[in-house]
Amino acid sequence: MAGRLTTSAFATTMTSVIDARTLIAETREQLKPVEEQLKAHPYLAALEQGRIRRENLRLIASEQYHIVNSDLRSIALLFHRHAHLPSREYLLASLQAEAAARAALLAFAREGCQMSEDDLKAYEPIPECQAYPAYVAWLAVYGSDAEFAAAFLVNLPAWGAACGRMSAALKERYGLPAGAAVFFDQFAEVDPSFEENSLRAIQDGLNRGVEGRVIARAARLIQAYELLYWVALYEASS
């Protein structure tokens, strides 16, 4: 993928970071090229222009069904592993938000795509689209709460912005009722406490000895997998 940041250059800048706020600021700066690619991805423009066929909206519902179900179980495992740490409230809130997203996704599939949950279960997912939840599952098994918090803190603004654009396009171009777009609206809405709660989880991880470069790596990888998702979705929808 174009604009990929070299891993050696990325890792070098992370070794001297000692606090969460600085770590995330430097990580975001390093990942700006990927962020710009996410913002300018042609799938979003095609959806806003009505160039994605209505039947291909089923790809969004189906891929997200597998992603959300996987992430829900991954976050539950993270909570189980880290419930004794200060990040437990952060992880519990993340778990509740993912459960709400699952319910809203079923409404989008039903009202926007005329798909039942059985249809979603029967769908065969695109491997590149599922790299993102596969990595979240890896974090759930092997990673720290700090790595998870950094990955989602860096990634969710890009995903949330994309969801805001998708919600508007689905309503304006495809005539979806507001209730069918709640899944996208939930991610588009910014929780004012999310950043500070995430930074506290990251700082606690740093204080426990989780390496800054490892935390930053999680953010770098999740952004790359996010971009891979859009590339694959666009190719399948065109």
The CA distance from 54 to 160, in Å, is 22
| pLDDT at residue 138, as a whole number | 98
Q: Does 21 reside within a domain?
A: no
Q: Is the pLDDT of residue 206 over 60?
A: yes
State how far the alpha carbon of 64 is from the alpha carbons of 3, 18, 98, in Å.
26, 36, 12
The CA distance from 209 to 112, in Å, is 47
Q: Does 147 reside within a domain?
A: yes
The b-or-e profile of 75-92 (16+ CB within 10 A means b, else e) is bbbbbebbeebebeebbe
Looking at the 3D structure of the chain, how many domains does it have? 1
Q: Does 27 reside within a domain?
A: no
The CATH number of the domain holding residue 185 is 1.20.910.10
pLDDT digits (tens, 9 = 90+) for 122-159: 999 999 999 999 999 999 999 999 999 999 999 999 99
**Tokens (6 digits) for 154:** 């860096």
Q: Does 138 reside within a domain?
A: yes
Phi then psi for 27, rounded to 5 degrees?
A: -65, -45
Range of the domain at 72: 54-237
Range 79-94 average pLDDT: 97
| pLDDT at residue 13, as a whole number | 46
What pTM was estimated for this model as a whole?
A: 0.91
User: Three-state DSSP class for 191?
Assistant: coil
**Tokens (6 digits) for 133:** 């939840």
Let me know if 141 is exposed, middle or buried by CB neighbors in 10 A (0-12, 13-18, 19+). exposed
Q: Does 156 reside within a domain?
A: yes
Q: Does 29 reside within a domain?
A: no
Q: Does 31 reside within a domain?
A: no
The CA distance from 61 to 170, in Å, is 13
Non-local CB neighbours of 170 within 8 Å, separated by 6+ positions: 47, 57, 112, 176, 180, 181, 184
Q: Does 9 reside within a domain?
A: no
Q: CA angle, 36 as apex, 201 and 8 as ends, to 5°?
A: 65
The CA distance from 31 to 27, in Å, is 6
Q: Is the pLDDT of residue 8 over 60?
A: no
